[in-house]
Structure 1
Amino acid sequence: MKIVPFGDAPDSAVLPGEAVDISGASADSIRALLREGSSRHTQASYRAAIRYWAAWHALRLGAPLVLPLPAAAVLQFIADHVGHAAPSGIAYDLPPDVDAALVAARVKRAAGSFKLATVRHRLAVLSEAHELRGLPNPCRTQAVQTVLSRVRSAYARRGEQPARKDALTREPLERLLATCDDTLTGLRDRALLLFAWASGGRRRSEVVRATMENTRRSGDGFLYTLGHSKTNQQGAERADNHKPIVGRAAQALDAWLAAAGIQEGPIFRRVRRGGVVAEGLGPESVRHIVRKRAAQAGLEGDYGAHSLRSGFVTEAGRQGLALGEIMAMTGHASVASVVGYHRAGAALSSKAARLLDGCPDPSPGR
């Protein structure tokens, strides 16, 4: 059985279980539902991962990628892409000619190693392809799980932590906002940055889904109803689905809507030459706006769309907000996902770090 879970065509998708007898029309419907239930970013990343697996398998092992994949092939993939200690330093098993061929096939941007996060993503996609077909999953074997556990420990001992975007806490955010003038683009960017940050650090997909229909006026502000999110895939009705847009964020949003003349549809839109307000922004545009404004503000560091989310949580921790209140705004489902940023923000104001403050100095001679 050749692997075709996401295929080359953008409308292909994995069917949940090869043993299920589904008619052609029903199969098309299931594929449509799978596509609609996944974000464009997720679909694109899964297609890229499967294409890489197929190219690597053909070039490295000399055979088409067929499911189920043996655990030995997965272990070879790990050895090829994860750095391990060698007499000459950190080494990888991927042959240079295979590496060059993967780049030539345009399934890899450049020769060299992957980040550990990329390797883990590739493995996660392969694992899901097996699970959806009800096949023995090599990624869940003890051998693969043991190796991955040792890999994480080895990288941690080397001090190689997962890369994170710098957090846009209040001070750097203010510098970004200062670059936004009163042109249409400036008004839009100011409104977008404040909307995303002040409403709880919205994800970029959530920002571009804001419309005049799901963002209603309430008092002197707005309420954005988040009907679907990463942690609420089913769109269940929850009390914390409603995110407040108040204060400066509401004022900036009012100014943008008035200047752009938006009365229905997407709130955040492209501004074309001549001041033409066009179609809604895509998720990638949020990242572009943050990076552009950070560069204009002269900020040093690596900033992206996620910087707004991590910045909100870090600043909230710095100002002493309770974790539960923060999670109600952000929509995090797991404490583990948010507590790191919260603790980082609160670290400098920790009372435990100031136990000696105010105590007599026990210096000799006193």
Structure 2
Amino acid sequence: MKSYIPLPAPLDTDLLPAAPPGAAPLQPELLSASAEDALRALRLEAASENTTSSYQSALRYWAAWYWLRYGQPIALPLPANVVLQFVTDHGEHLTAQGAQSGLPAEMDAQLVQQGFKGKLGTLAHSTLVHRIAVLSKAHSHQALPNPCHSTEVREAMSHLRKAYARRGKLEQKKAALTRPLLEQLLATCDDSLKGQRDRALLLFAWASGGRRRSEVADARMEWLQTMGPGQYLYDLRLSKTNQSGSARPENFKPVVGVAGAALAQWLDAAGISEGALFRRIFKNGKVGDAALSALSVNNIVKERCALAGVEGDFSAHSLRSGFVTEAGRQNMALADTMAMTGHQSAATVLGYFRAEAPLANKAARLLDDPQTD
């Protein structure tokens, strides 16, 4: 038997309070302007600072490009042909003269001059994909017909990716900072406040499971539990895979050993007992109150790579990929590794585990083995 919830008995409207003067009744089929504002504010608050910034930057670029291309302000919804024009303007196609894009040189120069583009030329494939995705989300948020879902746009993006793959132009993953490389970076950290902060930051990010740069920037004392001298449990309340802040056992990440000792040393030297774990240090040696930004975390990694003479395409994400790669090298259990990193997909982690597996394949060394009769 199906259960059901009975409707309430009709209300005696005579007993209900009268609506305040000037408050017109709402129409059930329409959302009020104040509710729309509130929902928009909630959406912005729920999004990470990096996500909000990247979306705003992408939409500003769309508006500037549209103005130059069509001579009028952008207005949604856009027809699919506009999106196709954007793809051909910013993606390369082969011609008799070589690879070219459709954006006129003078427009490209204007976009760079006005600060909407970083440099002349085509966009990186990942940037182009991101800008299409942002436009798609802008249409979805307003419940408008979405040109990015059209067959023509989907096919164009598929063809672009395949063409770039054939030319070897797809972006490669950031290089991994495995343990030997990480130790080179740590060797550049002296006993100054900056050196102690950077050492603690690098070890906290790497050893606690390869934290994302936003997670390092957002780390706070209130979420750090002291379990003993130089031993901590960090409650990772918000992450890419737990954006709702749900309480889960796997939220707790150990910060122990050399990482715990470095964190204890930094907190003591900086006099931090509440607020952000990692902060700006001013030229006068004073430790600020505000947290480092995610960009600053990325810059610290790059700066330490330069000081250590570690060459390659490294970023803050290299700490995360380095942790997973090192776990694979040392034959750590997949479940234990995923508990630290917070990855939801075993396939993603196995991709790092297997990154150097071909070099260990015995079948690749058949000619090296001595022949025996």
TM-score over 0.5 for the pair: yes
| 1:121-145 superposed Cα distances (whole Å, 9 cap, x missing partner) | 0000001011111111111111111
Query: Partners in 2 of 1:346 and 1:246 — Cα distance?
Result: 29
**Residue matched to 2:265:** 255
Indicate conservation of the 8 Å contact 1:180/1:189, yes or no. yes
**Residue matched to 1:132:** 141
Is the partner of 1:213 in helix, strand or coil?
Answer: helix
- Gaps in structure 2 of 5+ consecutive residues: 1-27
Please give the residue correspondences for 1:212-361 in structure 2 after superposition, counting only pairs within 5 Å.
Answer: 212-220=221-229, 221-279=231-289, 280-350=291-361, 356=366, 361=371
Q: How many positions carry a matched residue from both structures?
A: 344
Query: Partners in 2 of 1:317 and 1:193 — Cα distance?
Result: 20
Is the partner of 2:222 in helix, strand or coil?
Answer: coil
Indicate conservation of the 8 Å contact 1:290/1:305, yes or no. yes
Of 42, 64, 70, which aligns to 1:61? 70
Query: Partners in 1 of 2:356 and 2:46 — Cα distance?
Result: 35
By how many angstroms is 1:292 displaced? 0.8
Of 210, 213, 221, which aligns to 2:219? 210
Indicate conservation of the 8 Å contact 2:215/2:239, yes or no. yes
Distance 1:162 1:37, change over 3 A: same
Distance 1:69 1:249, change over 3 A: same
By how many angstroms is 1:79 displaced? 0.7
Amino acid of the residue matched to residue 232 of structure 2?
A: F
By how many angstroms is 1:55 displaced? 1.2
**Residue matched to 1:6:** none
Indicate conservation of the 8 Å contact 1:185/1:271, yes or no. yes
Amino acid of the residue matched to residue 291 of structure 1?
A: K
Indicate conservation of the 8 Å contact 1:70/1:138, yes or no. yes
Larger radius of gyration: 2
Identity across matched positions, percent: 54
Is the partner of 1:187 in helix, strand or coil?
Answer: helix
Amino acid of the residue matched to residue 284 of structure 1?
A: L
- Gaps in structure 1 of 5+ consecutive residues: 1-18
Distance 1:350 1:327, change over 3 A: farther
TM-score by length of 1: 0.89
Please give the residue correspondences for 1:180-191 in structure 2 after superposition, counting only pairs within 5 Å.
Answer: 180-191=189-200
**Residue matched to 2:54:** 45
Distance 1:281 1:208, change over 3 A: same
Query: Partners in 2 of 1:20 and 1:319 — Cα distance?
Result: 60
By how many angstroms is 1:275 displaced? 2.4
Indicate conservation of the 8 Å contact 2:189/2:199, yes or no. yes
By how many angstroms is 1:21 displaced? 3.5
Query: Partners in 1 of 2:235 and 2:29 — Cα distance?
Result: 38
| 1:301-346 superposed Cα distances (whole Å, 9 cap, x missing partner) | 1221111111111111111123332221111223343332221144
